[in-house]
Structure 1
Amino acid sequence: MSRPSATLRTAVVWDVLRGALDQRAELSGRTELDVLDTGGGTGNFAVPVARLGHRVTVVDPSPNALFALERRVAEAGVAERVRGVQGDVRGLFDVAERGGYDVVLCHGVLEYVDDPAEGLGNTVAALRPEGGTLSVLASGLGGAVLARALAGHFTEARHALTSPGGRWGESDPMPRRFTPEQLTALVTGTGLEVISVHGVRVFADLVPGALVDTEPDALEALARLEATAAELPDFQSVASQLHVLAEVPPGVAPGTPG
């Protein structure tokens, strides 16, 4: 069964992130921000951020992803604004500058690191101490439980619901999932102030693509539904992904030593 497009599935995150970039630029008095994209891969967010006129450093452990990033930024005409370096959040300051970024993206990273608190602490320590914005995107527990149950895998759904890491079994490709409370606690534990929490892909992963393709205006209507549900806590708890936006409070040194 096909699913709605990837653009729809990331629209909520991009809308929040674009607004945060605009606000950070206004607060800093600079139109060109320095953005760090940890685990940025092939540039799904780095390219549109660069198109807004910002400088982006992408850190990713995969050479293949960075090679694809290089091609992609060249095709998009933003090669001078995007730099890709091989690395990960554990050794982040081997390849990135501590306290040197206005905005840091930590998307699809915390599910895979051995110690999410340590990894998040490093990403936060990359923010400028005088003010910065963090964008965290991670897999949601509730969405996985709901998806397994709707597929008829009730034992796996219960296992995900009760296991410490939110995995539905040994063959589950996702090492870890989070509830909204767990993810926000990780973020506030670094000293940042949570600005907003959104559920991502509340419905998009469950709706058959054929339905969206055949029904007039269905894609637009689904996008509006996702945007509305994203802000409601009841729906955040069953989202496939969770997005947390946070900022450095005045007078607080962000992050922990890496």
Structure 2
Amino acid sequence: MARQLDEQIAGRFPVGQRLRVLDVGMGQGTQALRLARAGHTVTGLESDPEMLKAAREVLAAEPAGIRERFRAIEGDGRDTGVHFLPGSFDVVLCHGVLMYVEDRDAMLAGLARMLAPGGLLSLLVRNADALAMRPGLAGDWSEALTAFDTDAYTNRLGLPVRADRLTDLTATLAGIAAPLRAWYGVRVFTDNVPNEAELPAADALERLLAAEDRAGRTDPYRSVAALLHLCGVRG
């Protein structure tokens, strides 16, 4: 995922340009902090007070220069117009958030307005066209059969949420003047690995990441990934 995002940023902006980044629903700030460490100015927007507290605690341990480039504020991705002026950012991230949003298209339109011309919108969503894969590979045939006919599922936090389809999001991005420029699959081979599983040794981990990256760019593998990473560019 990070490799894909870095690739898209490198393809859109001059080398060394310090970008203005908005991370909507930043969680504990992992991705936002990584970009701040790379020299970009980052604003993290998070509605969960506990997540926001955790992000601020991690940020407090960073060097002063990184802390100065990173602003973490409490807010909802559906209200970006309240916090920021249109065109305020070069890159807007919305990773693992849309599944919780009822009016997806309205929120995406608001995020697109935050982008300067040529800006990059990066989305990470659950793949509704592959919902049967996780239960099917786990041998839960009843759940797999149900998943073919729905975009609703229960996530690993036990919450009822919605998955999204590539065709639907492609149409939405075109309609909000941030048409899809690239898309990837994420978690093609590793979706059923438990969150608490230990990482393999460094050489095995590198091969795993290389295989996932290759599959995430290659048809038909990317189409059955658990997650989709979509990149749109503001016209």
Q: Same fold (TM over 0.5)?
A: yes
Shift of 1:188: 2.1
Cα pair 2:87 2:115 within 8 Å, conserved: yes
Shift of 1:151: 1.9
* Aligned-partner residue type, residue 45 of structure 1: Q
Shift of 1:211: 10
* Aligned-partner residue type, residue 124 of structure 2: L
2:86 paired residue number: 98
Tell me how far apart the structure 2 counterparts of residues 41 and 172 of structure 1 sit (CA, whole Å). 17
* Aligned-partner residue type, residue 141 of structure 1: A
1:132 paired residue number: 119
Shift of 1:234: 1.5
Q: Select 1:38's aligned residue among 15, 21, 24.
A: 24
Deviations 1:32-82 (A, max 9, x none): 111111111111110110011111111111111111111112223221111
Shift of 1:111: 0.6
- Aligned identity (percent) is 34
Cα pair 1:140 1:242 within 8 Å, conserved: yes
Structure 1: runs of 5+ lacking an equivalent: 1-12, 250-258
Q: By percentage of residues, which structure has more strand?
A: 2
Q: Select 1:228's aligned residue among 203, 214, 219.
A: 214
Return closer, same or farther for 1:58/1:212 CA change in 2, 3 Å cut-off.
Answer: closer
Matches within 5 A, 1:1-258: 13-26=1-14, 31-77=17-63, 78-128=66-116, 130-163=117-150, 165-167=151-153, 173-206=159-192, 213=200, 217-249=203-235
Tell me how far apart the structure 2 counterparts of residues 185 and 233 of structure 1 sit (CA, whole Å). 20
Bigger mean CA offset, 74-83 vs 49-58: 74-83
Return closer, same or farther for 1:157/1:114 CA change in 2, 3 Å cut-off.
Answer: same
The structure, 1 or 2, with the larger RCO (C-alpha pairs under 8 Å, 6+ apart) is 1
| Secondary structure, aligned partner of 1:124 | helix
Shift of 1:174: 4.3
Tell me how far apart the structure 2 counterparts of residues 114 and 210 of structure 1 sit (CA, whole Å). 32
TM-score (normalised: structure 2): 0.88
Bigger mean CA offset, 73-82 vs 200-209: 200-209
* Aligned-partner residue type, residue 159 of structure 2: P
Number of aligned residues: 231
Cα pair 2:52 2:73 within 8 Å, conserved: yes
Shift of 1:122: 0.7
Shift of 1:168: 6.4
* Aligned-partner residue type, residue 120 of structure 1: L
Shift of 1:206: 3.2
Structure 2: runs of 5+ lacking an equivalent: none
Cα pair 1:157 1:168 within 8 Å, conserved: no
| Secondary structure, aligned partner of 2:152 | coil
TM-score (normalised: structure 1): 0.81
Cα pair 1:148 1:154 within 8 Å, conserved: yes
Cα pair 2:154 2:160 within 8 Å, conserved: no
